[in-house]
Amino acid sequence: MTKWVVKDKDVFWPSEEMKKKANMSDPNIYGESLKDQVSFWASKASELFWFDKWKEAYQEDPPYFKWFVDGKTNLCFNCLDRHLDSRGDRPALIWVPEPPEEEGFTLTYRELHEKVCRFSNVLKGLGVKKGDRVGIYLPMIPETQIALLACARIGAIHTVVFSAFSTESLKDRLVDSGAKILITADGYYRRGKPIELKEKADKGVEGTEVEKVVVVKRLGSETKMKEGRDLDFNDIMENSEPECEPEKMESNENLFILYTSGTTGKPKGIIHDTGGYMVQAYLTTKWIFDLQDDDVFWCTADIGWVTGHTYACYGPLLNGGTMLTYEGSPDYPDLGVWWKIIQEKKISVFYTSPTAVRMFKKAGTGWIDKHDLSSLRLLGSVGEPIDREAWIWYFEKIGGGNCPILDTWWQTETGGILITALPGIGPFIPTVAGKPFPGTRLEVLDEDGKKTKQGQEGYLVQKKPFAPGMLRGVYGNPKKYMDTYWSKYGLDVYYPADGAIEQEGGNIKILGRSDDVMKVAGHRMSTAEMEDAINRHPNIAECAVVSKPDEIKGEVPVAFVILKNREPSDEMKKEIKKTTDKYIGPIARPAEIYFVEDVPKTRSGKIMRRILKNMLRGKDLGNITTLRNPECVDRLKEIIG
């Protein structure tokens, strides 16, 4: 067996074999790339196809910036057409359905290209033009990647809504983005059951500008189709032409909008451009996941999140790689399903969340030991801090003590990974993400904007020139863009709202969110959004939602609720959970609900969530005498116990 890592005390390094194999193994790349970041990224952009080369690689007008100005390209062309001659018959997408008795299939680059072209023509036939927004509300089936790529081909802006989000969430996003088309499915399989999606979609489009709904009949069920509005995906694909000219997109024209939670009640539509995003997706996949011809890459993220966009669709395809998509959940028909897939499909690069790792760690190794996982050579982690125990378990039990762990830090806003170790360079250190990706400048600052000393806690920031994959705005809300990212340290410093510590060798340890955003099983949730949802129940006078640590999910939401015209009861708790289901989705269900008489507030009436958070963590509450209602603190302590 090839050895991929070597140990040196508590730290791991790439083996000589790994260094030889890796796409990038020169440690000088960090220093070299920072000498002229713009030229660095421009040289990488040149590895991709452009109809017209850019006139200027980087331009800025803070807090706005552009990459590859006047360059014309097409992301879909770079993902598919570019590979047709050299690797048209290579597998692009391996699809594994959830029902064990159902056979999956593989689409080669040529097959995927044909389907994407057909669907691009379908969208054009429905009147979709460059710049139009297209909603995508689909499960993990190949039609999802086909839909994204088709939008990219014709220059339509896709906005994907996670299929487990509620009707109301879907509606909000469709309204905000002004989508005219929705692509959805009759349903999908989850934990052995067919899950209905179309009825949710039907309600979601009510009162929006959506004129046509394309329905993938994944379940083949007798779903109700609305005459004149709904179209069967398969029917319209059959009658569509298999060739479609890609739209020449100026690099800075929008590619997609993806909604994400912030500190206010409404999710923000994060805008990504075409060229910059493409270059970052391409290079990070190439150097971090090190994709090569013999690799099969499985990123387990749902397409509804940015990780699914960049590493379960665009990044692998930009590199001509082979990727796998699995429809189902990790525990059906049993906890062996992922490991069976890794064995059967010879997955070599595997990218998942710390929550999944902790879940399997708790379940014991019985499920894993039955399978041969020796095809693995790289393991990735994303979305939340990975604790030492989970890291070591992942390394030893899944990687057989032989695969680097790439703890990758990034955000919906950054479009692609910005901090991690590189597999050919290392080091791989438990709980430490690693160095800023070559060509990017990330630092840890104190409250006053000064660089922290090594080992000292501070706030993570990015300095200019900003990485090409970075967001280009908040859809329809420039003020929010300015306030959220560019107000803490000014217009030249991007503020992601994460705490961090820089360690020896410039490696960065991520501490997690420093604002009122929580990561529940890696899913980004906003306390304000959950509070807004709960407050819509007629018997709620007021509420505060904060996170509490959880052994598996990292964090879970806890709600402190003040009732009106109603007594506390289990029934009321159920109703609150139904309310968060309705307005957000089951992932926002509070793990615990406390009925209280008051919550700590400042003199101006702002809820002091920090005090509640510290209480749930058994931490010191600090000075509470400045509260308007310090007396409620003792009462709350009694309730929490």
Residue numbers of the site for ligand PRX (CB under 6 A)? Answer: 260, 305-307, 382-385, 407-412, 433, 496, 498, 510, 512-513, 519, 524
Nearer to ligand PRX, 470 or 510 (CB): 510
Q: How far is the CB of 508 from ligand PRX (least distance, A)?
A: 10
Q: How far is the CB of 277 from ligand PRX (least distance, A)?
A: 14
For 500-524, give the DSSP string: EEE-GGG-EEEEEESSSEEEETTEE
Nearer to ligand PRX, 147 or 306 (CB): 306
Q: How far is the CB of 433 from ligand PRX (least distance, A)?
A: 5
Which residue, chain included where needed, has tokens 């499920």?
367
Q: Is 451 in contact with 471 (CB distance < 8 Å)?
A: no
How are beta strands 254-260 and 230-232 bridged, if at all? unpaired
Nearer to ligand PRX, 107 or 521 (CB): 521
Q: For residue 9, give both structure tokens.
A: 């005390």
Number of helices followed by number of strands (H, E) in the chain: 22, 35
Q: Is 473 helix (H, G, I), strand (E, B) or coil?
A: strand
User: Which of 323, 266, 307, 247 has the alpha carbon at shortest distance from 77?
Assistant: 247
* Bond preceding residue 465 cis, omega within 30 of 0: yes
Cα 171 to chain centroid, rounded: 20
90 DSSP 8-state letter:
S
Q: How far is the CB of 76 from ligand PRX (least distance, A)?
A: 23
Nearer to ligand PRX, 499 or 630 (CB): 499
Nearer to ligand PRX, 519 or 589 (CB): 519
Nearer to ligand PRX, 104 or 512 (CB): 512
Q: Is 635 helix (H, G, I), strand (E, B) or coil?
A: helix
Q: Is 465 in contact with 439 (CB distance < 8 Å)?
A: no
Q: How far is the CB of 513 from ligand PRX (least distance, A)?
A: 5
Nearer to ligand PRX, 151 or 471 (CB): 471
- How many residues appear in the chain? 641
Q: How far is the CB of 520 from ligand PRX (least distance, A)?
A: 11
For 163-187, give the DSSP string: TTS-HHHHHHHHHHHT-SEEEEESE
Q: Is 95 helix (H, G, I), strand (E, B) or coil?
A: strand
C-alpha span between 201 and 183 (Å, rounded)? 9
Q: How far is the CB of 131 from ligand PRX (least distance, A)?
A: 25
Nearer to ligand PRX, 405 or 636 (CB): 405
451 DSSP 8-state letter:
B
Q: How far is the CB of 383 from ligand PRX (least distance, A)?
A: 4
Nearer to ligand PRX, 76 or 433 (CB): 433
Q: How far is the CB of 523 from ligand PRX (least distance, A)?
A: 7
Q: Is the dihedral of CA 83, 88, 91, 94 positive or negative?
A: positive
